[in-house]
Structure 1
Amino acid sequence: MKNQRSKILLFTGFVFVLILPLIQAKVNVFDEEPLHGGVIIASKPEYSSTSWFSGKYQSDMEKFINDNIGFRPVLVRLHNQIQFSLFKQASAKGVVIGKDNYLFEQAYIDAYHGQYFKGRNEIIKKVEALKELQTELENRGKTLIVVLPPGKASFYPEYFPGKSSGEATDSTFYKEYSKLLPEYGVNCFDVNDWFLHMKDTTKHILYPQYGIHWSEYGAVVAADSLIKQVENLSGRNLPEMVITDIRKQNYSQGTDNDIEWGMNLLKSLSSQTLSYPTIEWNYTGSDTTNMLVIGDSFYWNWYYLGLGEKCFHKTSFWYYNNEVYPESKQSNLKVNSIDRQSVINNSDVVLLIASESNLVNMAWGFVGDALDILQGRVEDPAAYKLKIQEVIRRIKSDENWMKNVAAKAKEQNISVDSMLALDAKWVIENE
């Protein structure tokens, strides 16, 4: 009888364990920290006979149930922790674990070893185009600066995983750009080289063990130097960034552990002693300088530091020359949908930022587009659209003009809106 009662209790417990995730998914009994990073949770698919008979509905429903089952974040973290602790493997895309648990993204190690490099001729062409763009901007009283952020692979080759040799090669995008940009007279702020020279003497960590970007401290000192360089090149007097205090702590904040954060482990890794500056802005300088930034994720540290907001009158950040910030935080605004010519014309400083692994795509097509716009080879599509809309407003405000348009539309058997667009184009092309 006792043995039978134990079996019943065991079976009941087993059933409870099986249904507990279903209960959690339905009523959320326990608060769960969501998974970090680029985790996309499947939404519930809509049923249709087509998706059912093709098998797509069943497949999508299976993914939905899997992604939304109760305790999934805990189970994923448990799996990731086992992979990390027992096998030194990271369950995050592109992440590799180096010596002493230094975390890298494989793309940076590949770039350090020159795996994307196809020769310097193409780089020379790009540098020549950069020089041409710099000259075009200078003729309009504007300043161009290419920023080469630090690369974790360049900074810590001694911590590469055992299978990745730390032996350097001269055939890399960074090494070629760092030589050719000064050689061709292109304004360049080489933070990578500067940080390497400070690596053995600084009292503060410039590159964190668990982060992919410069440390919060490193981003601040780099921003301070950038401001001085902009002032020297442009002759402008910008607000001064003043470091009033530097706090040291043995836990990370901001982006200093962004790789670890995306690994979704159960237990936090032991932290280095990191430095966090307190800054103030001295507004004795000018607040009328506008800046345009085309770059990758290394600008986000400066973005959240307030560099664009505090030091410049207005700043537009074109993330990978694709999304426009700060507008995209609300509207997902794309670069190809705005009046780029107007932004360039109203910008006094243009920064191009490309990290070690992104130099293969330096500026993401911006240089050629900007030259075409500035040299009048093409009409910026978004700017042209705005001109069309403005002329249409002028036509609609003129009663006689509008009657004439309506008459032509009837005569040509097209809509009034189409005739408005045609008349507006004629006006723009002949004004």
Structure 2
Amino acid sequence: MKSIPKILIWLLAILFLIQVLQFIFPVINVKPLKGVVFEEEKPAVTWNNWANGNLQSYINNYVDFNFGFRPDFIRLYNQIQYSAFDAIHNDGIIIGKNEYLFGTDYLKEYYGEDYLGADSIQAQINKLQYIREYLKQYNTELLVVLAPGKPYFYPEYLPDQSRKSADKTNYYEFKDQLNQAQIPVFDVNKWFIDIKDTIKAPLFTQTGIHWSVYGARWVADSLIKKSSAILNKPMNQIHINNYDFSFDFQYSDNDLADLLNLFGNISDYPAAYPNFTRDDSIPKNERPNLIVISDSFFWLLFDGVLGNAYGSIDYYYYYSSIFSENYNEGTTVGNICVPCELRKTDLLIIMATTPSLKNFGYSFIDDFYLEIRPDYKQALDSLTSTYITVIKSDENWLNMVKQKAIKNNLGVDSMIFIDARYMAKLKLEEQLKSKDIQ
């Protein structure tokens, strides 16, 4: 019996030695943690750091975030907390009934906690209607896609069964006002609820926050059909043939569970992965071009499933980064002439899931509205001319713009205009901040 403590001490010593060796010589590949992970850089050993006493704290922080097998120790801690106490350490995730996972922001929207109010939403719809009429002059159509929220689809699995959806939510208000304005809408949230009891596989997985791959494939099929109807032209279709069930989750089907950073799979139900074929009878140069302004829900439609239906697809992710074969990697909406692109495209889709509705359009609506409303456009053009002159007269600024032009494969004059336009918008927005833009 006396030898047991010695054995435990030796085991702990060996484990500590292995951990130290892994820290110094990381020969064993450790699966990294999922989600936003803070990384502490290795501190520089300098005389200043030594003299001011900061070096030790820098080293301590570095070791705390980089000790051997740290990700696995965190997973072990998370697993014990989850398995023993149903506790998780992620403020953005809520555990519902039967281990269904929900995003906190989705619940806030569902309960009306981020409701903007009818007047604020009406102002955005009025601007969007103005934008739609403007784009029609250039034969560019508009479609709004209301992506689904998991609480609306699975209210039976919400943690608080006594609490129902609020009567006033951003989703309900946007849906009603878009319909009243007769702006084309594909309400996937309602559609999913309507077909929930007849569909053969889950449209949301137990542990995912986005629509499932299976659900996204059906959305793609319907989106092509709706695009064809709006544009009044035939399009290459997709055909979903069959599907396979698997616990080997793909894409975002397990994204909430991944963020919990546990060891094992916690889902009780497999996901469905459809097999599909794509028509290609209509050549690329006869297919409509598409621009999409969306949150992360469009990713599952941007993986090639729509490729044969549209001539090109430009994905303005949160109206910031642009993903497209037409642009270099790293291009943003600030690097291009957005109005020029919209006047050339056939269809503009604005997509938002329920919690994204509080920032509907991701600043595009306000930004583009300033571009096209005549009384504001005149002021914008004047400010743009002023900034063009300033840029050309400032050698440092001009050199920076030239570098951006090379990076974005644009002419210098085009890049000067884009930068000047951006500065002009900031200035005009500042001037109008105290006014109500209607």
Normalised by the size of structure 2, how large is the TM-score?
Answer: 0.81
Give, as a single letter, the amino acid of the residue that structure 2 aligns with 1:190: D
- Aligned-residue CA RMSD (Å): 3.4
Aligned to 1:285: 282
Q: Does 1:275 align with 2:275?
A: no
Q: Identity over the aligned pairs, expressed in percent?
A: 29
SS in 2 for 1:23: helix
SS in 2 for 1:364: coil
**Is the CA contact 1:340–1:380 (under 8 Å) kept in the aligned structure 2?**
no
**Is the CA contact 1:295–1:321 (under 8 Å) kept in the aligned structure 2?**
yes
Q: What is the rounded CA distance, in whole Å, between the counterparts of 1:328 and 1:14 in structure 2?
A: 57
Aligned to 2:34: 36
Aligned pair in 2 of structure 1 residues 83, 326: CA closer, same or farther (>3 Å)? farther
Give, as a single letter, the amino acid of the residue that structure 2 aligns with 1:252: F
| Aligned residue among 152, 157, 160 for 1:159 | 157
| Aligned residue among 295, 308, 311 for 2:309 | 311
Q: C-alpha deviations, 1:129-165, integer Å up to 9, x for none?
A: 1111111111210111110011001111221114x74
**Is the CA contact 1:96–1:105 (under 8 Å) kept in the aligned structure 2?**
yes
Aligned to 2:216: 219
Q: C-alpha deviations, 1:29-49, integer Å up to 9, x for none?
A: 433212122223222133456
SS in 1 for 2:164: coil
SS in 1 for 2:363: helix
**Is the CA contact 2:91–2:104 (under 8 Å) kept in the aligned structure 1?**
no
Aligned pair in 2 of structure 1 residues 185, 81: CA closer, same or farther (>3 Å)? same
Give, as a single letter, the amino acid of the residue that structure 2 aligns with 1:138: K
Q: What is the rounded CA distance, in whole Å, between the counterparts of 2:326 and 2:262 in structure 1?
A: 30
Q: Does 1:230 align with 2:227?
A: yes
The 5-angstrom pairing of residues 390-401 of structure 1 reads none
Aligned to 1:322: 320
SS in 2 for 1:285: coil
Aligned pair in 2 of structure 1 residues 114, 56: CA closer, same or farther (>3 Å)? farther
Q: C-alpha deviations, 1:335-380, integer Å up to 9, x for none?
A: 2122223322222111111111110000111012223334561359
SS in 2 for 1:43: coil
Q: How far is the alpha carbon of 1:166 from its aligned partner?
A: 3.7
Give, as a single letter, the amino acid of the residue that structure 2 aligns with 1:72: R
| Aligned residue among 117, 137, 142 for 1:119 | 117
- Alignment gaps of 5+ in structure 2: 403-412, 418-438
- Alignment gaps of 5+ in structure 1: 393-408
Aligned pair in 2 of structure 1 residues 52, 128: CA closer, same or farther (>3 Å)? farther
Aligned to 2:350: 352
The 5-angstrom pairing of residues 401-416 of structure 1 reads none
Give, as a single letter, the amino acid of the residue that structure 2 aligns with 1:62: N
The 5-angstrom pairing of residues 374-385 of structure 1 reads 374-375=372-373, 377=377, 378=380
**Is the CA contact 1:149–1:356 (under 8 Å) kept in the aligned structure 2?**
yes
| Aligned residue among 143, 146, 155 for 1:145 | 143
Give, as a single letter, the amino acid of the residue that structure 2 aligns with 1:356: T
Q: C-alpha deviations, 1:80-132, integer Å up to 9, x for none?
A: 11121122122234111111000011110110000011420000111111111
Q: How far is the alpha carbon of 1:62 from its aligned partner?
A: 2.5
Give, as a single letter, the amino acid of the residue that structure 1 aligns with 2:303: Y
Query: Which range moves more in the overlay, 62-71 or 372-381?
Result: 372-381
Aligned pair in 2 of structure 1 residues 61, 306: CA closer, same or farther (>3 Å)? farther
The 5-angstrom pairing of residues 123-272 of structure 1 reads 123-162=121-160, 165-272=162-269
Q: What is the rounded CA distance, in whole Å, between the counterparts of 1:217 and 1:387 in structure 2?
A: 53
Aligned pair in 2 of structure 1 residues 7, 261: CA closer, same or farther (>3 Å)? closer
Aligned to 1:397: none
SS in 1 for 2:139: coil
